[in-house]
Amino acid sequence: MANRKPRVVVTRKLPDAIETRMMELFDVQLNLDDEPMSKADLIEAVKTADVLVPTVTDHIDSGLLAQAGPDLRLIANYGTGVDHIDLATARQRNITITNTPDVLTEDTADMTMALILAVPRRLTEGERVMRSEDWKGWSPTWMLGHRIYGKRLGIIGMGRIGQAVARRARGFGLSIHYHNRRRLHEEVENELEATYWESLDQMLARMDIISINCPHTPATYHLLSARRLKLLQPHAYVVNTARGEVIDENALTRMLRADELAGAGLDVFEHEPAVNPKLMELSNVVLLPHMGSATVEGRIDMGEKVLINIKTFADGHNPPDRVISETF
């Protein structure tokens, strides 16, 4: 690869500036239609590419990797999460995996905070009333929500995004609590004024708002199971901008329909792009189309990281964003 331009296959449309730079640096096959690649197209891509640039919409499983050609040495993921890639099989085949960490932290934390505000204050319900032209004017007891000031926020996953959410939430007067596989250093806890809960169950039972900010791994699949969701108090809200698979979506929907939870703000879903139709019928849920990281700046920053990872790897060095493992 060092003596020629690496052949790079990109599975989705990327920002123009990134695609232009890729064309200058590498031998690139772009996806101009921006439709998810079919299984057959992905198979052809892994057979012929030196570098594959997939996104979260591509399932890079063991069956696909088994058909990879001998030249595929790098999968430079366009995104932070890599739960759609079979990391173990990639390692067995000596394929390096990279991602794009850090650049989406602030954007995702912004969206998380927006949902933390939107659900208790019933913002989307009010907006729908205005568009339906049913508003009859102000009333002292109509469309009442709940203030978030003074409430307890429980953050599941206190990595970069979780900490960024905590910093924002403190500014709104929320009390910060968290559960994480490893406890933060004391100075970070003090800075965030955050209370650590070793037991997720105990934390869930005491929080007013839950924010999910952990990756999807085998250990976090249905971390919020039906049993754990039952631990939440009826006035609690659930916000998820991480991965849909972390929540048992059917159980969550049942509880929301039965008023066993006050509401939810969801930017991700267990079976994306499919969404439970019963979930879509609920007025106490804010649903967004996986747009937590959808800023122009963020998408360009992601592309810049992909470029650096490919170029560094092609030059014979370890790329800066090599994925070693994904943990909660």
Residue 146 known to be catalytic: no
Please pick, among 243, 245, 299, 326, the residue that the annotation labels catalytic.
243
3-class SS at 134?
A: coil
Find the farthest-apart pair of alpha carbons in the chain and give their distance in angstroms, rounded.
Answer: 73
Query: Tokens 């989705």 identify what position?
Result: 12
List all residues 6 or more positions away from 111 whose beta carbon is below 8 Å from its beta carbon: 241, 267, 288, 291, 292, 293
Cα(114)–Cα(243) distance, integer angstroms = 17
Strand partners, 155: 178, 211
CA 88 – CA 92 distance, rounded (Å): 6
Contact yes or no for 28/53 (Cβ under 8 A): no
Q: 3-class DSSP state for residue 210?
A: strand
User: What's the rounded Cα separation, in Å, for the pair 160 and 140?
Assistant: 41
Bridge partners, residue 238, by sequence = 210, 264
Catalytic hit among 93, 152, 290, 322: 290
Q: Specify whether 243 is catalytic.
A: yes
Q: Which of 125, 260, 272, 304 is catalytic?
A: 272
Strands 7-10, 175-179: pairing kind? unpaired
Catalytic-residue membership of 272: yes
Computed from CA positions of residues 224, 229, 232, 238, in that sequence, does the dihedral angle turn out positive or negative? Answer: positive
Task: Write out the catalytic residue numbers.
Answer: 243, 272, 290
